[in-house]
Structure 1
């Protein structure tokens, strides 16, 4: 059983070479046999006509002497003579081949004055093995007696063997050279595949720092390029997984440490009542933080699994935005923020619960990071097939290098790293995932100290 691609390629290419040589030999013989036959017959006919002219001119008493002398003078052909009584004489042939078997009908036809020659379209190269298969027959009249003279080319057995051996030797040389070239070509083809196999095994063992250096522009080169891209993506995915575990551990460890520390403090009998209440409030706040973290993690995992429930309904988007603004009324009223709402009536087909979480997160962040007596603008614009929602604040802003990462899980800007903000770094990741499920897009534009603008574009009719 053949188990290696290299051996399969060598055997396959070798078989192709052998079959190609065999077919080529037969095809060439079929193409050129008729041509060779025609030329030989023309030469034989010329010899026969010369003998007829000589016999007609000299009218020899003994025709056999003329024919014998002709074959001795030119030994490239053999002659066979027939008369109406069936007499046969041969000239220029070996003693053991001094007679040939011919169809009597052919002999009779030549005796009656017809010229016989083999039909080239019916002649195949296999017949060329016997020289008597190539012949012509011409009528000959000497001293009033009618003869049939057949002329055939003389091909010696030695010459025939030499020709056969030469052809076989040439074919063997072609096969040998072809096999050597196939060995080299197969190694050239298989070598990059071996590199890919080794790299794949390393990748399967968890080593993502692999790179296949194959500089080719063919399909194997494209495969190597795709493999390197896949390895890079897996490496990045592994780094994201490690960062995720690290971030989750950090987010969980901090509140657990606080809860454990203040729980121990509550055991002190001499603890004042106001301190007891403050410790309990901290424990409650940290517990709520853990609850929100676990809830957001479960929700993000559900969204990324593509099995999260999706229930699109047609509703007023402007009304939904107003309800979210009213929900945050205590927060923006406490900070004396100015709200500028431009919300014309717009209907949209989408999952209302999921989009409500988007607006809650974006508007909540705008209120959280806008300073006292700042402003927030919420605008809604309807296009032909989509709606554009923009939420702009006059808050602390986001640095340019941080804007590309704010949608990553657990990523927080420096201004948002304070525990008092209560953020876990999952809100915007959830927002982006929900918008992607609605086949929309979200972008951010911000300058430090000048506020932030979030722009959401959604299709009017959404189907997940």
Structure 2
């Protein structure tokens, strides 16, 4: 310990002086102070310093001087004796001794090392430089992180106002870059949903407006008194058909809304799927019989656990769709097989087919392959949307295939 070393050297110093009685005290101590790694200060009985004070770096508290003059070794110096911060850490000890019966107090501390002081100054300077550059780098990093977040916040505000044409930079590979990519994907999906909503409103307006216009026009025509019976019956027939069209539209809209938003569970039951398909074919016999369509059934005995009413609607919609687009004297093949522990049902016709570029959209509400919306083909574009929704609710899958002009195949896969 440094204080113990100072006490030992101080005692040796006192003994050296006392062994040379001819030496004068003050010059002896003055010459010793500063020659090695220690610095001395000597106080007489009046507590006055006897050595040159310019070499002594500390102030000693009067109480400590009195304690040493009274014969006490002091190593726990009063902190008030060292008010200067640059010397606050120097160890100090006080040793008593007598010369010619007069008490003296010898205080010893380490000599300040200029090299150490320069080193400490360098360390302090280094701390300042590190603090400066650290703050500068933190500022840059903060801007690097905060700016993308600000852009993301502004883009979010734009999206909240219904503006989905926003795109954030995605060159970064960190978490913010991943977030930007996800945000852009979300913006695109929301833009699609917004466009679907607009198209839905437009399609509903069109599907409702067309029959209403017909009904209104032919109703006004019926008010004319000079009209033969044949024309009157023809107008009434058109009004009846358009009314039925509106009724089907409202029913399908309600069914689709119910399927999309109702959280009621499916009414599951176990039944023969092949028998259900036969019943649907028989129920639609007036439709395919009128067009002299050949129905070929190749059904394996299949048992399924599902909502019977909902799946029945699937087969009715798919078969009705095939009948609608199959020419007179055409053929429809209905197959049902068990493969890889899954029930696979396919309905294939030799009708007009579906263009490949249209297949991704045919399950969207109101989508029609016939862009002109030919009124001779009855339908409002909701049947396949209902089919898709019911199949998804049963954790199944539906795919469409075929070539334009040669026919279409709808394949439904249901878990066993």
TM-score > 0.5, shorter chain as reference? yes
Post-superposition shift, 1:255? 1.1
| Kept in 2: contact 1:41–1:136 (CA 8 A) | no
- Of residues 173-182 and 224-233 in structure 1, the stretch that sits farther from structure 2 once superposed is 173-182
Alpha carbons 1:344, 1:380 under 8 Å: kept: yes
Structure 1 CA distance, aligned partners of 2:226 and 2:34? 145
CA contact (8 A) 2:34 2:111 kept: no
* Matches of 2:324 and 2:284, distance apart in 1: 10
Q: Determine if the alignment matches structure 1 residue 154 to structure 2 residue 115.
A: no
Deviation per residue, 1:44-91 (Å, 9 max, x gap): 5996698599679x7555484784254256174235899xxx9x9988
2:353 to 397, 408, 411: 397
Q: Indicate yes or no: 2:406 matched with 1:406.
A: no
Counterparts in 2 of 1:452-463, with a 5 A limit? 452-460=408-416
Assess if the C-alpha contact under 8 Å between 2:41 and 2:51 holds in 1: no
Match of 1:197 in 2: 153
Q: Does 1:218 align with 2:174?
A: yes
Paired residues of 1:78 and 1:91 also in contact (CA < 8 A): no
Q: Normalization by structure 1: what TM-score?
A: 0.71
- Normalising by structure 2, we get a TM-score of 0.79
Report how far residue 374 of structure 1 moved: 2.1
CA distance in 1, matches of 2:23, 2:265: 116
Partner of 1:320: 276
1:165-176 matches, cutoff 5 A? 174-176=130-132
Asked if the contact 1:78–1:92 (Cα under 8 Å) also holds between the matched residues in 2, the reply is no
Is contact 1:210-1:231 (8 Å) kept?
yes
How far apart are residue 449 of structure 1 and its match? 2.2
Structure 1 residue 162: deviation in Å? 9.5
- Paired residues for 1:99-178 under 5 Å: 100=64, 129-130=87-88, 133-134=91-92, 151-155=108-112, 174-178=130-134
Structure 1 residues 286-343: Cα deviation after superposition (integer angstroms, max 9, x where no partner): 1000110111111112211143563112211111111001011222223332222122
Inter-CA distance 132–171: structure 2 relative to 1 (3 Å threshold):
closer
Do residues 78 (structure 1) and 39 (structure 2) align?
yes
Equivalences, count: 399
1:337-352 equivalences in 2 (<5 Å) = 337-352=293-308
Which consecutive residues of structure 2, in runs of 5 or more, have no partner in the other structure? 77-83, 100-104
Distance 1:349 1:398 in 2: 31
Partner of 2:102: none
> By how many angstroms is 1:166 displaced?
7.9
Q: 1:231 aligns with which of 184, 187, 193?
A: 187
The structure with the largest helix share of the pair is 1
Cα distance change on mapping 1:68 and 1:52 into 2, 3 Å: closer
